[in-house]
């Protein structure tokens, strides 16, 4: 298993989540993105990609902005 610091792990995970999005399985996509975004080890490039995908998976971009705010 790849370590969390390995960008290959994150790239593969994001590709899997992108496939969920492409298959219009938005609820699963959002659930997986929620889990992924909780890891502090997530590199900035993949974090940005995940945020963009999160916003695209929601019907309302404002909902994405509010739900991704730090708590």
What are 1-60's pLDDT values in tens digits? 455 567 889 999 999 999 999 999 999 999 999 999 999 999 999 999 999 999 899 876
Evaluate whether 21 touches 56 at the Cβ level (below 8 Å): yes
CB atoms within 10 A of CB 64: 19
- Report the pLDDT value the prediction gives residue 39, as an integer from 0 to 100: 92
Place of tokens 């929601």: 58
Evaluate whether 2 touches 37 at the Cβ level (below 8 Å): no
- Report the pLDDT value the prediction gives residue 38, as an integer from 0 to 100: 93
Instruction: Return the ∠ at Cα 44 (arms to 55 and 16), rounded to 5°.
Output: 60
- Report the pLDDT value the prediction gives residue 63, as an integer from 0 to 100: 63
Paired tokens of 35: 């889990």
- Report the pLDDT value the prediction gives residue 4, as an integer from 0 to 100: 59
- Report the pLDDT value the prediction gives residue 1, as an integer from 0 to 100: 46
- Report the pLDDT value the prediction gives residue 59, as an integer from 0 to 100: 75
């Amino acid at each position: 298993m790849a370590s969390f610091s390995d960008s290959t792990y994150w790239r593969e995970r994001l590709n899997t989540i992108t496939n969920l999005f492409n298959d219009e399985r938005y609820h699963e996509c959002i659930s997986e993105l929620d889990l992924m975004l909780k890891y502090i080890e997530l590199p900035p490039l993949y974090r940005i990609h995940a945020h963009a995908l999160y916003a695209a998976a929601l019907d309302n971009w404002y909902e994405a902005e509010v739900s991704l705010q730090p708590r």
